[in-house]
Amino acid sequence: MATESDIDGSGEQDLPLVSIGLFAYNEARFLRRTLDSLLAQDYANIEIIISDNCSTDETEAICLEYAQRSSWIRYHRRPHNVGSAANSIHVLEQATGKYFMWASGHDAWSPGLISTCVTLLEGHPSSALAYGPASWIDEEDRAWDKESGWYDTRGMQAMLRFFMAFWGNAHPILGLIRTRYLHELPKIHACVGADQIVLVELALKGDFLHAADAMWWRRQPRKRESHADRIRRYKSSDFGLAKSWLDRSLPLLRLPLEQARAVLRSQLGIGEKIAVLMALVPAFLVRYLAGRKA
């Protein structure tokens, strides 16, 4: 476990800074466990940026308490609720580290997750992100009989990396990402499926590395959801993803459009772009209109 003295020691100068962006809204029930998990990381050069989306519970008091205890933590409170998507973009905008990781206010991570992912990324300069396997837990930290799938794109060409991210789940978005690549994106859209858009953009930039020993425990306080349940939740005002009539009527419309634009903006050759776009037409129909799980 890293200590406060580690942060002030000479060893920190040899370690790239990692920014963790924690977006929170009314997370008082789980927030202490989440912050304890982040502060228990065995990596010594971390900043934790908390953006409190104008919570109405004890979230603010808990964050201020922990900010007094650790110089790693920077706490921001939004004057009004801007929605989950805008709040998650805000923490990225505050990041100063070489690497960045989004964190929700109710999850947990193994103590070596950051150090393991940094080692992988530093050893593979062509990589975009590193992430570990995810397991679900409930409100009482009990494990579900469910784990995430994973993929590793080392050795793959950009076209294949794109389709791996297209068909894969969205869990890598909560891995450790090269901050520069995120800042190079023209825009992170506050729309349904924004995580999938970012992932295909990142896949076109570099490899996704799977860190088998870097565990992420994803808390699921809600009941198990169907695809339709998730879409209804994403369209709610809590997320701020469906602000127009068109977004509410066709919540997935912008997703394939932005993924196609990512291909057009990429460094792929003209022939490769045409091939990918042609393959995307039937893929879109199967992936999104058929309601396949993300």
- pTM metric for this prediction: 0.86
- Within a domain: 4: no
Considering the domain architecture, whether residues 138 and 277 belong to the same structural domain is answered as: yes
Considering the domain architecture, whether residues 79 and 224 belong to the same structural domain is answered as: no
Contacts of residue 81, defined as CB under 8 A and 6 or more positions apart, other chains included, come to: 25, 53, 54
pLDDT tens readout for residues 256-287:
889 999 999 999 999 999 999 999 989 988 87
Residue 11: predicted pLDDT: 53
* Res 235 pLDDT > 60: no
CATH of the domain at 93: 3.90.550.10
Q: Which has the higher per-residue pLDDT, 262 or 190?
A: 262
Residue that is last in its domain, among 106, 121, 154: 106
Q: Which residues form the domain of 232?
A: 109-173+190-294
Report DSSP state, residue 212: T
Considering the domain architecture, whether residues 34 and 141 belong to the same structural domain is answered as: no
Cα separation, 104 vs 22, in Å, equals 6
Given its phi and psi angles, is residue 200 left (phi above 0), alpha (psi -120 to 50 degrees) or beta? Answer: alpha
* Confidence at 72, pLDDT banded by 50, 70, 90: very high
Considering the domain architecture, whether residues 27 and 41 belong to the same structural domain is answered as: yes
- Within a domain: 136: yes
